[in-house]
Amino acid sequence: MTDFIHRFEPATSAGSPPLLLLHGTGGDENDLLGLGKMISPGSALLSPRGRVLEHGMPRFFRRLSEGVFDEADVRLRAAELGDFVAEARQRYGIAAPVAVGFSNGANIAAALLLLKPDVLAGAILLRAMVPLSDPPKAVLSGKPVLLLSGQADPIVPASNSERLAALLTQAGASVTHKILPAGHQLSQADVTLARGWIGNVKARAA
């Protein structure tokens, strides 16, 4: 298997989509397990640790400075992560997952949607930014995406998250973008909205 340290927890409910949990800078494979269980009780959880270290903190790709990404590395790491998900699906017998990414994890999930759209069944992007200045023409064919931004986020400008929503919509995704009265950190509103959105995705799949 592509060399990602990870946690896997099998599903306890047959009707719940598997989740790919992607942590923020300095997190690890344990960080979002609790969030995944709150958002979609019963889902299989696949949670890798980012392979890039920034001052000892795991990330999913390199950045040159705050908000400035090493885009060649974004492309490389998205390909690696896509291969890991494909191998994990075979190993654990799961369907294409819905990504749940926070901050850096949300950015690599957005990159996956644009670069390897078949890897994910959908995505919940928490405080995401546009990952590539010149993304390929992706075909997302109605893939459901929930983008939750913070009104007072000091890291992600409102114009950037709006551009990401427009980019994914133009690629054909079914995007729900909500701006919450929050900063960069997650709030109870994120959990509530994500859980309701996953419920709708499950209902449509059924």
Residue tagged active-site, from 16, 43, 47, 103: 103
pLDDT of res. 123: 98
Contacts of 173 (CB under 8 A, 6+ apart): 113, 140, 142, 143, 144, 145
Residue tagged active-site, from 6, 153, 161, 190: 153
- The b-or-e profile of 175-184 (16+ CB within 10 A means b, else e) is bebeebebeb
pLDDT of res. 2: 67
Residue tagged active-site, from 28, 83, 184, 187: 184
Q: Give the E-state strand segments of the chain in sequence order.
A: 6-9, 19-22, 45-48, 52-54, 57-59, 63-65, 68-69, 98-102, 122-126, 144-150, 174-180
Packing angle of the helix pair 104-115, 71-92 (nearest 10 deg): 80
- The whole-chain average pLDDT of the chain stands at 95
Q: For the CA atoms of the chain, what is the radius of gyration?
A: 15
Is there a catalytic annotation at residue 73?
A: no
- pLDDT tens for the chain, residues 1 to 206: 568 999 999 999 888 999 999 999 999 999 999 999 999 999 999 999 999 999 999 999 999 988 789 999 999 999 999 999 999 999 999 999 999 999 999 999 999 999 999 999 999 999 999 999 998 889 999 999 999 999 999 999 999 999 999 999 999 999 999 999 999 999 999 999 999 999 998 888 77
pLDDT of res. 44: 98
**pLDDT tens digits along 111-150:** 999 999 999 999 999 999 999 999 888 999 999 999 999 9
Is there a catalytic annotation at residue 3?
A: no
Is there a catalytic annotation at residue 184?
A: yes
